[in-house]
Structure 1
Amino acid sequence: MNFTIPMYNASKLQVRYLQIAKKSKTYNPYRWVRYVTQANSYVARL
């Protein structure tokens, strides 16, 4: 089974801002950051 839960973070970790240390004229940073985590097992208790 594969599924995604948008805007959910199990660890409650938040990124408030992202600062680029070395700016380059050829580098165009994205305005958003997206990470997808994968786990070997997930248990849901209802």
Structure 2
Amino acid sequence: MDYKNVLENQIKELEKLNSRLVESCEKEEKVCEVARTIMEIAKTAKDLI
């Protein structure tokens, strides 16, 4: 199994879901904080692979 491809696909899916979260974050500041954290995690994961 190619774990790198699996991880890359999961990161892409995470980014898609997070973009939807960002769209709704104007209503709630906590949601914005969560969205920022998710983006940082995705970026770090990309840098590691």
TM-score range, shorter chain: under 0.3
More helix by share: 2
Larger Rg: 1
Query: RCO greater where, 1 or 2, for CA within 8 Å and sep 6 or more?
Result: 2
How high is the TM-score relative to the length of structure 1? Answer: 0.22
